[in-house]
Amino acid sequence: MANNYLQFSEVFSFVGSEQREWFERFLPLLQQDALEEEEHGLRLQDLRELTVFLKANQGVFDQLESEIENGCFVDYVIEKDEERDEELVWVKSEEGSDFFPFCCLLHIFMHRFGVNDPWWLTWASWCSQPRVSEFSGGAVVVSLRGVWAHSVDDWVGKQLEILREDENPPVSFDCGRCNNKKLSTSFLHEIAGIAVCPSCFTLAMDEIKQAEDLEARKERNA
């Protein structure tokens, strides 16, 4: 008899009673049957309206809502770190817990309280018996821009694609921003469905970051 496990353990630190109250209000949505049906609906509606008001990533909320409707379960603890004088949300998995709903909720939290620093979590998936191809893992990054999760399997698939491309004659593309005609698939990036060269990709990311910082300053000054 073999069992499969998905395990992780990470903390997110926060400060102040207002942030604690926010977590205490919305984290129970991530545990099936933690709230009465009517209260569950009210808090989810509040979160939906808050996402729109804060101009957070709507796709992230849609994914979160789907996870909640499917009966997600996130094992968490809110506790005080006396040494560092801050409070923590500890998300963990011993058996059966999921991390992705918390990551989606954290994205909305970041917009609500103007948290600019990204947060990340790594996970391991493994089997109690040495079954072939049943060991993996990955990482997820959360920021004001969104939530990105990548598994080891994703990375392997990408590397295989690159190796296959290297075995074939290079194909050139025009950069959709600067019209560079010497862009091979090995150096191809994509922004909003448009192929761009590495230089233009870096410039675009800087522009997005500047726009996010400006929006965050406006929200803090409002």
pLDDT confidence tier of residue 85, bands split at 50, 70 and 90: confident
**Mean pLDDT across the chain:** 85
Rounded mean pLDDT, 87-107:
91
Q: What is the pLDDT of residue 171?
A: 56
* 194-207: pLDDT as tens digits: 666 777 777 777 77
Q: What is the pLDDT of residue 176?
A: 67
Please determine, for residue 151, whether its predicted confidence score (pLDDT) is greater than 80: yes
Rounded mean pLDDT, 157-174:
71
Q: Higher-confidence residue: 105 or 157?
A: 105
Reading phi first (left if > 0) and then psi (alpha if -120 to 50, else beta), residue 67 is in alpha
Rounded mean pLDDT, 187-200:
61
Q: What is the pLDDT of residue 187?
A: 46
Q: What is the pLDDT of residue 180?
A: 62
Please determine, for residue 172, whether its predicted confidence score (pLDDT) is greater than 50: yes
The residues pairing with 65 across neighbouring beta strands, listed in sequence order, are none
Rounded mean pLDDT, 93-105:
89
Q: What is the pLDDT of residue 106?
A: 97
3-class SS of residue 149: strand
* 12-69: pLDDT as tens digits: 999 889 999 999 999 999 998 899 999 999 999 999 999 999 989 899 999 999 999 9
Please determine, for residue 188, whether its predicted confidence score (pLDDT) is greater than 80: no
Instruction: Name the nearest CA neighbour of 146 among 106, 195, 112.
Output: 106
pLDDT confidence tier of residue 186, bands split at 50, 70 and 90: very low
**How far, CA to CA in Å, does 21 sit from each of 163, 174, 214?**
50, 51, 27
Please determine, for residue 182, whether its predicted confidence score (pLDDT) is greater than 60: no
Q: Higher-confidence residue: 57 or 175?
A: 57
Please determine, for residue 76, whether its predicted confidence score (pLDDT) is greater than 70: yes
Name the DSSP letter for residue 174. -
CA distance 158 to 192: 20
